[in-house]
Structure 1
Amino acid sequence: MAEPTVDLALDARTILGESPVWDDRIGRLYFVDINERRLHAWEPQSGERISIEAPEQVGCVALTNDTGKVLLGLHRRVVVVDVASRALCASLATTPDSHGIDDMRFNDGKGAPDGALIIGRMHSKWREGKPGRLYRLAPPGELQEVLEGTPIGLPNGMAWDMERREMYFVDSKAQTITAFATDEGGVPLEGAAGRLVATVPSEEGVPDGMTIDRTGNLWVALGEAGAVTCFDAQSGAQLHRVALPVGRPTACTFGGADLAVLYVTTREEKGPSAAEHWGGVFAVRVPGVAGRAGGFPVRLPA
């Protein structure tokens, strides 16, 4: 079998690149730079690149049913952005004051099969055990907490199985990938016990952003380990591990022609051992592997 290939797709130089999502309808890759407060849009075919400044740290970007608009998860708001005009045109929801303001911000999030947004919120002191939260937003409704009562450390990558009966979820603090039973819309059922898919030993990296391929296997960026790894979603067995020329990958999504390219975002590295192209977006091609959409479009209110 031919070996995987890894190429620098875009020398983005992000400080904390995250949340890549491919819009197959228009051939565009979106990703964010959390610390630089920017949304990036890039079209590999034409080379066009757009950079939009956000008013706050931006944890994630999600597609909508309007190809000209995306959602951003900011500090405590979810907002609509018109990409062409580069304008924030609506705020859909704000987290309650009782759920923390200064010490928490939105992190990873994706559109669910039912057209809602599933989005996590992390605490700045997650390493000290401060918990995170997970929400569902069905525009124009309010944020509803999901998996309430389930311990959540640092909410990160999400993906849905082919039958939309389970949502896979990364908790970077616990170093785990867990499958939660869902309703027909892909929303985790309250009170349902999660099925542990895999635990990543700390010496092998920190599981971060995640996506799913067409055979139902999970691809996870391993922070601080310089690799992306593929897990069997049922057995948890490691099927592939692809080394990258950088040390700090953050998240991944399938895109490109036939969704055969795994785009990987990365973050800043410092010191004499820093990789030449830290902060870049890399294109990983694994022979015989193609993906599914990294997230479903969120339905905006009419």
Structure 2
Amino acid sequence: MPEVKQYKITEPYLDTKCGLGEAPFWEEERNSLRFSDIVNKKLHFIDLEKGPSSHKRFDLDFSVGTTADIEGNDKEFIFGGKYGYGVMNRETGESRWVQKMWTDEERKEDGGGKPGVGKTREERMRSNDGAVDINGRYWVGAMNDPLVVEGNITDEGVLFCLEPDLSIKRKKESVSIPNGMSWTLDNKYMYFTDSPSGKIIKYPFDATTGAVSWDKGVDFFTCPIEGGVPDGHAQDEEGCFWIACFGTGKVLRVNTQGEVIAEIECPTRCVTCPGFCGTKLFITSAEEEAPKEYPWSTKYQGALFMVDVGVRGCPLNKFKMATKA
């Protein structure tokens, strides 16, 4: 077994008190960080040259689970939100939907579907995590919205893919909580997490067509900590993964063989997603789910954390918008 390097974070970079902090994303050209609070419907921004004092936020009327930059467009970014894919102005927060996820049929009342709550499928779903592949497609997973289904998460989730021509495809059905997704450095395999499974699965991937061999997946990582599940992850330039293990207070660095080689200890349990800004790893977190059982975790619940891990993140792909939205 390889030696496990240890990091310990004792206080937050910024105590944002997010309900569900997610999707830290480095706006490299601006050297700024943006991240979302899905539950409280906010987007946060920090100028990394100025530090925490530069923190600002957009208050939205819908949730955003994931964001990505757009190739050739410095004024806007694309996001996966409550109803589908949208584009938002970086300076004003003004937004517009460019592709809804759900069909007209799925916008009709259906008796609550599998959870038995929510008038329509569109109402009881929301975007969660997402990533852009080497050819500029934006993959976003949708799941039951816990605020609508009262925590009754089912396998109604779908992994969507937005093509550069703004057409939308359903890539994988019957998922529960679609989370961390990425690709090997040679783009021959895709990693995908359905968090309740406790695993990250590695699938053969055709970068040219965007096809995934879902029937040929192999287990890559299983959370080794009892009660923990893999949430979001970030990949570094050496091909290793930094995986937030929700419910453990740990972010684990895992090599390409799936072995844990480093561990970051955070001062709250519900860590959700890491993201690189140079060699600094920023980590979002959520509100503690069991405050009476884990009172120590509540002090910095929902905060943003940072640690310099001495390795740079893998460059993030940009969405290649081939048609005007």
Q: Distance in 2 between the 1:203 and 1:42 partners?
A: 34
- Which of 64, 84, 87 is 1:58 aligned to? 64
Deviation at 1:232, TM superposition (A): 2.1
Q: CA shift at 1:112, angstroms?
A: 1.6
The residue type equivalent to 2:89 in the other structure is: D
Please tell me whether residue 119 in structure 1 is matched to residue 140 in structure 2. yes
Equivalent residue number for residue 240 of structure 1 = 262
Does the Cα contact within 8 Å between 2:8 and 2:265 map onto a contact in 1?
Answer: no
Deviation at residue 108 of structure 1 after TM alignment: 0.6
- The Cα shift of 1:5 comes to 5.1
Residue-pair matches, total: 294
Q: Secondary structure at the match of 2:216?
A: coil
The RMSD of aligned alpha carbons is 2.4
Q: 2:276 aligns with which of 233, 254, 267?
A: 254
Q: CA deviation at 1:228?
A: 0.2
After superposition, give the CA deviation of every residue in 1:129-171 in whole Å (9 maximum; x if it has no partner): 43421011024422201135xx523110111211111111111
Q: Is the counterpart of residue 226 in structure 1 residue 249 in structure 2?
A: yes
- 1:277 is matched with which residue? 300
Q: Which moved more, 1:105-114 or 1:68-77?
A: 68-77
Q: Displacement, 1:291?
A: 1.6
Tell me whether 1:184 sits opposite 2:210 in the alignment: no
The AA in structure 2 aligned to 1:30 is: R
Which of structures 1 and 2 has the bigger CA Rg?
Answer: 2
1:186 positional shift: 8.1
Which secondary structure does the structure 1 equivalent of 2:39 belong to? coil
Q: Which amino acid aligns with 1:95?
A: W
The 8 Å contact of residues 225 and 248 in structure 2, kept in 1 or not, is answered as: no
- Shift of the 178–115 alpha-carbon distance from structure 1 to 2, 3 Å rule, reads same
Residues of 1 paired with 2:37 and 2:91: CA distance? Answer: 19
Gapped regions of structure 1 (runs ≥ 5): none
Q: Is 1:77 equivalent to 2:87 in the alignment? A: no
Alpha-carbon separation, structure 2, partners of 1:20 and 1:97: 32
- Can you list the C-alpha shifts for 1:29-77, whole angstroms capped at 9, x where unaligned? 1110001111111111123333112221222222222232112222222
Say which SS state the counterpart of residue 219 (structure 2) adopts: strand
The amino acid that maps onto 1:44 is L
CA drift of 1:90 comes to: 4.4
Match of 1:145 among 170, 181, 189: 170
Q: Secondary structure at the match of 2:64?
A: coil
Of 187-196 and 259-268, deviating more is: 187-196
Q: Aligned pair 1:264/2:283, yes or no?
A: yes
Letter in structure 2 aligned against 1:70: F
What are the Cα deviations for residues 75-106 of structure 1, in whole angstroms up to 9, with x where unaligned? Answer: 22211000112201443333224553122211
Gaps of 5+ in 2: 107-120
Structure 1: how far apart are the matches of 2:208 and 2:27? 21
**Shift in Å, 1:127:** 5.9
| Structure 1 residue 192: Cα displacement | 4.6
Residue 189 to residue 11, structure 1, CA distance change in 2 (3 Å)? same
For the Cα contact (< 8 Å) 2:32–2:46, is it kept in 1? yes
**Displacement, 1:201?**
4.8
- Percent sequence identity over aligned pairs: 26
Q: Could you tell me whether the CA contact under 8 Å between 1:170 and 1:210 is conserved in 2?
A: no
CA contact (8 A) 1:76 1:105 kept: yes
1:43 to 44, 47, 64: 47
SS at match of 1:110: strand
Contact 1:19 1:59 in 2 (8 A): yes
Q: Is the 8 A contact 2:15 2:303 kept in 1?
A: yes
Counterpart contact for 1:15–1:267, Cα < 8 Å: yes
In the alignment, the residues of structure 2 paired with residue 98 and residue 192 of structure 1 have an alpha-carbon distance, to the nearest angstrom, of 29
Question: 1:176, 1:186 → 2: CA distance?
Answer: 26
Q: Distance in 1 between matches of 2:228 and 2:152?
A: 15
SS of structure 2 residue aligned to 1:280: coil
Q: Check the 8 A contact 1:5/1:286 in 2, yes or no.
A: no
1-structure distance, mates of 2:182, 2:283: 16
